[in-house]
């Protein structure tokens, strides 16, 4: 999966959380600490009577190595294909500056990610508008359109399950799940090239998320 696509559609909800209104004198947010083989050149010339070598079978892909991800002091768990990389960054929103935490991995050119952040205590959160803004930001970022959308739950979190088509810079499918649990916002996302579907892996990743 090429990096420009990831930047375009991944984890863009922090810029479009439209359901938050700032109260006077907001409390500042403090970010938590981040805790060969060689090929011979002198091969002999094959004799005319020698049969052509048989093609070796391509080893079957055994699938990804799964990693349970539960960083402290978070309130969720999710299982990644491969080992996720983490980062945190301040993001502007209608509620003020929030710290967005991210973890992501890749497998077979597909991108798997989760982002989470806490709304400021001084913010008034409109759940519907916040989820609408997150959905619209992600879909617009990929130049796509919504294919399906439904309401879901994951532990204590309620949210949306959205499948959308990505048109730029390549054709792909986005699988987006967004949740709000109390003052915590979560987003899980898979961006998968249209030519390489991995339905079982996508489902295992998305279904493994549980908010505690």
Return the pLDDT at 146.
93
pTM given for the model: 0.72
- pLDDT at 164 > cutoff 70: yes
Tally of residues, the chain: 212
161-187 mean pLDDT? 90
Q: Mean of the per-residue pLDDT values for the chain?
A: 76
Q: What's the mean pLDDT in 29-48?
A: 37
Cα separations in angstroms, 54 against 41, 46, 212: 21, 14, 55
Nearest to 23 by CA among 93, 95, 91, 90: 95
- Kindly report, residue by residue over 10-33, the tens digit of the pLDDT: 444 433 444 555 544 443 333 333
């Amino acid at each position: 999966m090429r990096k420009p696509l990831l930047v375009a559609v991944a984890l863009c909800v922090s810029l479009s959380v439209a359901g938050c209104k700032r109260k006077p004198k907001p409390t500042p947010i403090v970010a938590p600490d981040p805790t060969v083989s060689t090929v011979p050149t002198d091969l002999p010339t094959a004799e005319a009577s020698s049969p052509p070598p048989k093609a070796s079978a391509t080893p079957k892909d055994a699938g990804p190595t799964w990693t349970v991800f539960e960083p402290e002091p978070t309130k969720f768990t999710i299982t990644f294909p491969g080992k996720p990389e983490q980062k945190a960054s301040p993001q502007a929103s209608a509620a003020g500056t929030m710290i967005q935490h991210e973890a992501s991995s890749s497998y077979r050119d597909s991108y798997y990610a989760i982002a989470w952040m806490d709304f400021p205590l001084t913010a008034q959160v409109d759940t519907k508008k916040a989820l609408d803004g997150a959905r619209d930001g992600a879909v617009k970022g990929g130049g796509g359109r919504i294919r399906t959308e439904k309401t879901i739950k994951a532990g204590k979190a309620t949210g949306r399950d959205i499948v959308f088509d990505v048109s730029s810079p390549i054709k792909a499918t986005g699988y987006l799940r967004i949740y709000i649990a109390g003052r915590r916002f979560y987003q899980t996302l898979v961006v998968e090239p249209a030519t390489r579907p991995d339905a079982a892996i996508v489902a295992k990743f998305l279904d493994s998320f549980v908010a505690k």
